Amino acid sequence: MKLFLDTANVEEIKQATDWGVISGVTTNPSLAAKENEDFSKILPAICNLVDGPISAEVISMDYEGMVKEARELAGVHKNVAIKIPVMPEGLKAVKTLSAEGIRVNVTLVFSVNQALLAARAGAAFISPFLGRIDDIGQTGVALVRDIVDMIDLHELDAEVIAASIRHPEHVPGVALAGSHIATVPFKVLEQMFKHPLTDQGIEKFLEDWKKAQASN
Ligand code: G3P
């Protein structure tokens, strides 16, 4: 399972790429709105930092608007993938854009039916939002597993991006469910490093080393 970073914050992306674990980035209008800079400046900066799919979302709700916005965003860099919500106008745009070789990440997916429709329309990526499924009392990881199973069973081309990840335990959950990609907020990525036994182990190694140096 690849790890993408779910952020529009360039500093976070710089730090995560230095750690060598990030294969792509996903953004959305809410994440972009948190930044102080215009998204037209942020997107090329992200593309310069990460050599992998960078998802940028359209905000138009009609086919013509989505296709126009998508072509502009895709023109920024070859790695830009277009995020489009799963809805009839959106899937019509997915069909047009995928035929042009533009990769589309179908977003706001909450059911196997929506994932099947997205894959049939030609989506390169499908993003189930597991945290929001948990929010309504269902199990997000189970949805990811069902979508991955459906894609494998029918040999569809789309890759699943487990999105709306809220805590580090979601990550092994979706990895073991077979998700191709997990897109994680920076905070969750930091939390993935943490284990009290690692901290204790480092402390003990250093302490023993210092003791040995002092007695030599
Ligand atoms: O990748 C989608 C993600 O940004 C949504 O997360 O926490 O707003 O449900 P959240």
Which is catalytic among the residues 78, 83, 194, 204?
A: 83
CA atoms within 13 A on the CB side of 59: 7
**Residue 191 backbone dihedrals phi, psi, to 5 degrees:** -65, -25
Q: pLDDT at position 148, please? A: 98
Q: CA 214, CA 89: separation in Å to the nearest integer? A: 72
- Nearest-Å Rg of the Cα atoms of the chain is 20
Is there a contact between 4 and 181 (Cβ–Cβ < 8 Å)?
A: yes
Of all protein residues, the one whose alpha carbon is nearest to atom 10 of ligand 1 is: 164
Determine the pLDDT at residue 34.
96
- Residue in 133, 136, 137 with CA at minimum distance from that of residue 114: 133
Return the structure tokens found at 56: 């940028």
Query: pTM of this prediction?
Result: 0.96
For residue 205, the number of C-alpha atoms closer than 13 Å in the C-beta half-sphere is 6
Please report the pLDDT score of residue 2 as a whole number.
98
**Active site includes 95?**
no
pLDDT value for 216: 79
Provide the pLDDT for residue 204.
98
> If DSSP codes are grouped into helix, strand and coil, which group holds residue 53?
coil
Which phi and psi angles does 90 have, rounded to 5°? Answer: -65, -45
The predicted pLDDT at position 125 comes to: 98
Cα(183) to centroid of ligand 1, in Å?
9
The two three-digit tokens of residue 21, written as one number: 């674990």
The 3-state DSSP class for residue 94 equals helix
Task: Say if CB 140 and CB 134 are below 8 A apart.
Answer: yes
Q: Choose which residue among 9, 84, 125, 164 to substitute to test ligand 1 binding: the one with the highest number of ligand atoms within 8 A of its C-beta.
A: 164
> What is the chain's pLDDT, residue by residue, as a tens digit (216 residues)?
999 999 999 999 999 999 999 999 999 999 999 999 999 999 999 999 999 999 999 999 999 999 999 999 999 999 999 999 999 999 999 999 999 999 999 999 999 999 999 999 999 999 999 999 999 999 999 999 999 999 999 999 999 999 999 999 999 999 999 999 999 999 999 999 999 999 999 999 999 999 999 987
Question: What is the phi/psi pair of residue 122, to 5°?
Answer: 110, 20
